[in-house]
């Protein structure tokens, strides 16, 4: 009997950890989609009821998201979705530009034929979104495209940093890519990134990858 109990303990911990990860992913999605707005307090009771779990996994999930910079704890008040300032956003663009340049350089070195085919397909799908005037579709494809470049680089740590910083940028719910001309210009930059990766031009890939993010920062400033 004691042996059976000892065996059950690790399994219970494993199930609990799995549940926390599921809750964490669900809560992250809600935050990034703007369903829980920046600056809003996380209501553990409501979230637990909504997700069909106890308050414990919600609390643990919030701690994980705090380590990623998506929420913050205010002493004696609770946990709030982070609200980024313009200065925060501009710094994040600069940081992502530096990392993106590195990722694109690495992708030009190590991208497989499948990687290159996937990246070209993203550019084609974004072209279609531009023609259809579907900004929402373009926005989602744009995010997925950059994640795919990061994966193609094979640089795991840089990819994780880049992805984490991208989540913070999305907290502002800023859409600097609006209007057909802006979307077309953005995708022409994507096309240049992919062309450099396709031919293995490391220097060009790094330059256009970094500049694309700097251009995003400039587009943001133009909206102010």
82 neighbors 72 (Cβ within 8 angstroms): yes
Alpha-carbon gap, residue 37 to 152, rounded angstroms: 32
Picking from 81, 104, 133, the residue at the C-terminal end of a domain is 81
> How far apart are the C-alpha atoms of 65 and 81, rounded to whole Å?
9
- 19-68: per-residue pLDDT in tens? 888 988 888 888 877 788 888 899 888 999 998 888 888 989 988 888 88
Q: Is residue 178 domain-shared with residue 111, that is, in the same domain?
A: yes
Find the helix or strand (DSSP H, E) in which 183 lies: helix 180-199
- 91 CB contacts (<8 Å, ≥6 apart)? none
- pLDDT for 179 equals 66
CA–CA separation, 135 and 174 (whole Å): 13
Q: By the 8 A CB rule, do 101 and 207 touch?
A: yes
Domain around 53: 2-81
Q: Are residues 166 and 75 in the same domain?
A: no
What is the pTM for the complete model shown?
Answer: 0.74
Q: In degrees to the nearest 10, what's the CA dihedral of 107, 111, 117, 123?
A: 0
| CATH number for position 182 | 1.20.120.530
110 and 53 in one domain? no
Tell me: the pLDDT tens digits for 167-196? 887 776 555 656 678 889 999 999 999 999
Report how many domains make up the chain: 2
């Amino acid at each position: 009997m004691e042996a059976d109990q000892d065996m059950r303990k690790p399994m219970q911990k494993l199930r609990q950890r799995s549940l926390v990860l599921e809750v964490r992913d669900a809560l992250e999605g809600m935050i990034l989609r703007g369903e829980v707005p920046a600056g809003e307090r996380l209501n553990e009771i409501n979230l637990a009821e909504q997700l069909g779990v106890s308050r414990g996994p919600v609390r643990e999930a919030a701690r994980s998201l705090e380590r990623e910079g998506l929420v913050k704890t205010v002493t004696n008040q609770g946990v709030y979705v982070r609200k980024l300032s313009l200065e925060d956003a501009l710094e994040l663009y600069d940081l992502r530009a530096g990392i993106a340049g590195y990722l694109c350089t690495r992708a030009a070195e190590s991208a497989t034929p499948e990687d290159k085919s996937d990246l070209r397909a993203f550019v084609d799908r974004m072209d279609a979104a531009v023609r259809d005037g579907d900004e929402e579709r373009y926005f989602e494809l744009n995010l997925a495209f950059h994640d795919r470049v990061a994966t193609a680089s094979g640089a795991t740590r840089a990819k994780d940093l880049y992805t984490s910083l991208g989540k913070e940028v999305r907290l502002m719910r800023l859409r600097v890519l609006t209007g057909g001309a802006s979307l077309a210009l953005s995708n022409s930059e994507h096309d240049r990134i992919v062309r450099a990766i396709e031919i293995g031009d490391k220097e060009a890939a790094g330059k256009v990858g970094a500049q694309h993010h700097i251009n995003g920062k400039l587009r943001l400033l133009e909206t102010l």
